[in-house]
Each structure stands twice: as structure tokens, then as C-alpha cells.
Amino acid sequence: MRRPHRRTLALLAAAALLVGAVPGGSATPAPGAQLAETQHPIVNPSFEDSPAGAAPTGWTVTTTGTGGSALVTAADAAAGDQSLRVIQPAGSTVTVVSSATPIVQEQRLSIRGRLELEAGTSASLMIQYRRADNVRVADRQIELPAGSSGWQQLDVKLAAPPFATKVVVMIRANATGGGTTLVDDLELREEAPEVYDPVLGQQQELLIDDYRIDSVTDLERVVHPGTKTGPVLTPTEPWESNMVQLYGSAFYDPSYGKYRMWYAGISGGWRLLYAESDDGLTWTKPDLGLVTYQGSTANNILMAPGGGGGVVYDPHDPDPNRRYKLLQLVNPPRTYQAFFSPDGFTWTPSPVNPALPAADVITVDYDEENGRFIAMSKQPYGVRAFFLSTSTDFVHWSTPEYALAADDIDRQTAYDNGSLEAQTYGLPAMAYGNDYVGFPWLLEITELAPDGTTGGGVDGPSYVQIAASRDLRHWHRPDRSQVVELGPDGTWDDGMIFTSSNLIVTDTEVSMYYGGWDDTHGVPGGQRSAAIGRVSWRKDGWVSMRAGATTGTLTTKELDVSGDSLFVNADLGSGGSLRAEILDAAGDPLPGFGLADSNPVTGDQLKAELTWDGADFAAIAGQPLRIRFHLTGGDLYSFTVADAATVAFGGADSGVENRAGDDERTLVDEVWAEGPFRDHAAFVRTVRGVAERWRTTGLLRRSEAQAIQVAAARSDIGRG
């Protein structure tokens, strides 16, 4: 019998009518303003408050083994007259802990100190967060490199995770061979708030949050739930039982010529499975002949155990055996492990596994602009929160750093819905336009676990929000509405929703695949079913600023632009229009760019160019400016300042600037020079070759080359 649970989730009205200011935002200093770090007190930070030869006042010293010590010395100091000498013989440990400093969730603190290695191996400088009951929640450490000499400054940073209430500074020496280290001049600092950067890239600027917005009048921020299709993949095989789950990836692979999906089947454990499709809607599960199930390899199993993670296609890795990269939960043992493949079918473990400490949920994508892979993972800290790790080689990953967890707004929403608590269940994050977008999965806990905690075994639904960030560490969610909605009662996805690790972007829409359950978290697996669907939006279409019959305005903060044209993605109803003024940095209209000079944009346009009578936007590029949009009767989804001409093949627009090479020929010129084309496949191969040449010479980024290849594949050129 199905357990009753609430499906209708009343969300806070964070998207209320905005008049003159943006709710939910934070004060942002003017461009160029310098924000200093805040220093927090540490008792006896330079060890001047204790006599030489004594233990440090205000610190707790513990040792194991024999001969270890931590005593104040006047023999050497980085600052002042004294320092702390930590002596750790082989086979012993020495730990020095400061008094605790109270903190709040999401404070971003760092420990800065001076260390000098006298002998052997350096002690570590550590920041450690603890709960109210003194249990460790998270920590990070750093030590001097072998062979270093003289005083060296070390700095170790870590954001405060959920439920941490205090922080301590630790000096820990536990090297196998022992060592002696001097420590001095310790500081506990809080990172300056997120600083506004006026430099505007040449991609879309979304309106999910208030980062670029200075003021708003008579506009409403609206979250647009995606259009759902499906289920497109359902459990049909015995190794899937009644659950196919997308804690994975699905995308169009231009080298393979199909949509490809790596997903999980759940039947007596998790397995990594594979499906493919010509159109993204009708999927097949090929017999791969790789893994034996009940005496037969006639199945689509890639790996067992496996299935909780994501795949990245990396055509530019110089090693052809590493073109596909997988980061997933393998349980048992419960670890996050990395794998490489030449084709997406046969996988070889990374030379460094486990790749990261593990709990149970991890997503991964690639950030082309910064050349790094992005992993968001749950960590084994006893709370559902998400931590950022990055890597440039997919082998060595940064220590997980707190990124996002449910906050008081989420909890209040849960209380308003009659639930007990809210926690984050996942956070797929990916680069998009000038920003990063994230899709937090929010779990509303309606019943505690059998042991009375909010751990494993809780019940409740999960739903998906939209978030934005510029650095993957500071996330903003002014509107907490569902961007992928739970299905109506009695449908296949009315209980829980999880999204894939990646987006599929075309010239007209953005889409992703998602996993849906027909019941909630605490319902036993055999009593619920899971399938996979597709959800889509117009391009940039997650969030808009909306005007009614009264004209509303949106004024940006100061912008430093390089493009020669201003474009908007807007849907304007009958009688609706959009105009813009260009202002100087002080907010005064520039001559020729006033409201009366602006030609109106009307209708539904994904990329409409704004123009002014008698003035050319290219003439003011490169100088500080602001934009004031005037919107009536419609939605503004994004704006872009970019060079005008893009690479397009028929109606398939890549969105990539059609720039010129060293010989003044554009990429499109080079493609047409190799025609005529025997068929569509020949055309696509030609475009792929030209795009790869441009990428290898530095004229295209990897993401741009991929966007051009996808546009070619979607075009009708050569199809007869």
C-alpha cells in the first residue's frame, strides 16, 4: 500500500513584485572597492604569552609515543620574540589545538601562519570545524614541502559546513620518520565577501540571480518549469528490476552520431548501464557482451557494482584511451572512483582511486573556459550537503570544499508544507553562458528515520530548484520555485526527481534528462518504481524578468564590455516591447543611446539585436557602461554583448562568433571552400575537421568547437 505524502509544495514568494530594489540580494560594493578580510582572535597566536620552555598558554597539547613535545622557544621567531617548537620523534604524534572560535554556516575561514622546518618532515597546519558536541565535521591541512628552508607562510582555507558551530586551529605532527617544526604568527581570517567583477564575457548573461542587477522597477522574477517528456526509458530487464535511475549523464555524442546515456539499474545492488538513441526520445539497450549476469553477457551492463555518477566526453584528451571519463560511486566498497575509456563502453580504473572521500551522491561536468572538471559530492559528514572538488586531469582532485546546503528559507518552506526538515540531496553544476548554473535537489523530510534521525531511511519528496554562481562556491537562489516539477499525484515522477550531470544545448533550447520515482524516499525499493524522462526549456529559459502592462525597468551594475553588439532573449506578447538606454558608469545616458533613440524589440526572439537611430553600439565598446532595459508586456530571459556574426548552417546556429583566422578567412569560409558535399555525413565530417584545426591553433575553445559540430549535425545540409 502506498504511503500517503504531500505532493503540493507551497514555496515562499521569493519572486514577489520588485519595485526599486531586488529582494534576496546582498549588498555589493562598487566596482574597484577593496574588501578586506576579517581577522578573528586566536588566544596566544604568536606564543608570546608563555615563558620560553613552557607549554603554550591557551593551547592544548597531546602526544602519543615517547619524546614528543610542543614548547615555546626564544631561539627563533618569524615575528616577535618567540615561536613554538614541535618535536615529533619517529613513532610518536604531537597535536596542538587552539581554543575554539564560534562560527556560523557558510563562513569562509582560513588559517594563515609561518612555519620553518628544522629537521625531518614538517608538521601540518590544520583548520578543523566541529559540532556543538565537539565532534569533527570537516578539516583541511597543509604542510611545508620536503627540503624547505627558512620561514614560510602557509594558508589553508575551508568554508564552514552545515551544523558546524566552532572552529579550531591545529598543529599536527605524525610523520613516519618524525620531524621538528617551528610555528609562529598564526591568524584566523574570514574571506572577504563575494566581490563584483564588471568584466562581461561574450556569452549569455542570465537573470537567475541579482549579480548584474543594480535596480529593478515593476518587474517580477519568474522561474519557468521545464516541459517534461516521458518516461523515455523504463525498467524492462531483470537486472533493472523496477528501477532505472539517472545519477548519471546523457548527451549527444557527435563522434558517435547518437544520443548516449549512462544510467543505473537497481536490482540487488547498483549497476552501471548503457542506452543509446537516434532522436533522444526512443532508446535502445544494446547487448554489450561485457558483464555476466546470471550466466549470460547478453545485456547492457557496463560495470557492477556502479552507476551513481557521471560521464564526460573529452575528444581533445591527447590519449585516445581517455576520451571518455567516468566519476561514480562504487558500492561496495562505498567510494567515489574515476575511470577512463576510449569509447564509453570499456572502462579502466584511474591510477588514483578512490578519487574522493565518499557518501552516496556525486555529479561531474567539464568547465571548458577554466580547463577543469567539476565534481559536486555529498561527503560523509552526517548531513546532506554538497562539496566542490575540481581537477585538471580527472586523476587528482582538490579536497572537497563546502558549496551549498539547505538554509533557513528552505527549512521554512518545509515547515509551511508540514514537513520536519529540508536538506540538499544533489547539486549538478555546470558552466553555462557567462555563469555557472546549478540544479539543487531539495529533500523535504516528512518522517524521520527509524533511529529517530534525519539520516538514511527518512521519508519525503524531492524536487529541483535553479541556482547561479560565478565561482562554484557562492550560490544564489532568489526564487526557490521548482524548475523541474514533481508530477501530479499518481504519475510516474510524483515522488522524487533527480537531474543528470550535464545539459544538452542547441541553438533554440536547453534540455536534460532526469530520474523520477513514483513514491518518496522512505518507501522500500520493491514498493516504488523509477524511470527516466526528458525536460526542456527555451534557450536560457529557466528564469525571466517579467513585465505586465506597466513598463518595468532593469538597470545593470557597471559593465566592462568587449563585444560590438547587444542582444536579448525575450518573449514579448501582443503590444509588448523592449527598449534599452545605454548609460555611463555614473548612470547618465550616453548621447545617441537614450530611450527615444532605441528601436523596439517585439515578438518572441531568442537573439534579437538592440539598435539605436544614428548610433552604433560598437563605438562605445570598451568603456565602462550600464544598460537600462525598458520592458512592457513580456519576459526578458538574458542579454548578451558579443560580436555580431555567428557560425550557422542553415537554421542551426552554434552561437559561436564567426571570427576570422590569420588569413582573414572565417571558419564558415573554410567550410564552404571544401564543398560541394556528397551527403550530410560528408558535410559533418568537413565541419568537424575544420573546427578541430581551429581549436588546435587556439582560435576556438573546446566548447565552441563542440557547439559548431553539433550545429552541423543538426542542420539539413547534404540531406538531399
Residue where one domain finishes, among candidates 578, 613, 642: 642
Question: How many of the other CB atoms lie within 10 Å of CB of 217?
Answer: 17
Q: 350-366: per-residue pLDDT in tens?
A: 999 999 998 899 999 99
Instruction: Give me the number of domains the chain comprises.
Output: 4
Distances (CA, A) of 175 to 95, 180, 702: 12, 10, 43
Q: How confident is the model at residue 37 (pLDDT cuts 50, 70, 90)?
A: low
Does 273 lie in the same domain as 151? no
Does 631 lie in the same domain as 502? no
Residue 12 included in any domain: no
Which residues are CB-contacts of 27 (< 8 A; sequence separation ≥ 6)?
A: none
Does the pLDDT at position 6 exceed 50? no
- Asked if residue 705 lies in contact with residue 254, where contact means CB atoms within 8 angstroms, the answer is no
Q: How far apart are CA 410 and CA 161, in angstroms?
A: 16
Identify the pLDDT of residue 283.
98
Q: Best-predicted range by mean pLDDT among 10-19, 41-50, 218-227?
A: 218-227
Identify the pLDDT of residue 307.
85
Does the pLDDT at position 16 exceed 50? no
Q: What percent of the chain has pLDDT over 90?
A: 72
Q: 460-502: per-residue pLDDT in tens?
A: 999 999 999 999 999 999 999 999 999 999 999 999 999 999 9
Does the pLDDT at position 27 exceed 50? no
Return the CATH number at 471: 2.115.10.20
Does 665 lie in the same domain as 611? no
Identify the pLDDT of residue 30.
39
Identify the pLDDT of residue 651.
67
- Asked if residue 717 lies in contact with residue 679, where contact means CB atoms within 8 angstroms, the answer is no
Q: For residue 619, give its domain range.
A: 548-642
| Chain mean pLDDT for the chain | 90
Residue 521 included in any domain: yes
Residue 368 included in any domain: yes
Q: How far apart are CA 576 and CA 600, in angstroms?
A: 9
Provide the grid cell at 374: 567539476
Q: 157 or 239, which is more confident? A: 239
Does the pLDDT at position 32 exceed 90? no
Does 676 lie in the same domain as 617? no
Identify the pLDDT of residue 35.
45
Does 284 lie in the same domain as 399? yes
- Asked if residue 245 lies in contact with residue 307, where contact means CB atoms within 8 angstroms, the answer is yes
Does 603 lie in the same domain as 504? no
Does the pLDDT at position 14 exceed 70? no
Say which amino acid occupies 351.
P
Provide the grid cell at 162: 552545515
Residue where one domain finishes, among candidates 506, 538, 570: 538
Provide the grid cell at 428: 549538478
Residues in the chain: 720
Does 554 lie in the same domain as 405? no
Closest listed residue to residue 183, CA positions, set 298, 90, 48:
48
Q: 92-149: per-residue pLDDT in tens?
A: 999 999 999 998 777 889 899 999 999 999 999 999 999 889 988 888 899 999 889 9
Q: 405-452: per-residue pLDDT in tens?
A: 998 899 999 999 999 999 999 999 999 999 999 999 999 999 999 999
Residue where one domain finishes, among candidates 475, 505, 538: 538
pTM: predicted TM-score of the whole model, two decimal places:
0.81
Distances (CA, A) of 139 to 130, 136, 152, 183: 9, 8, 21, 19
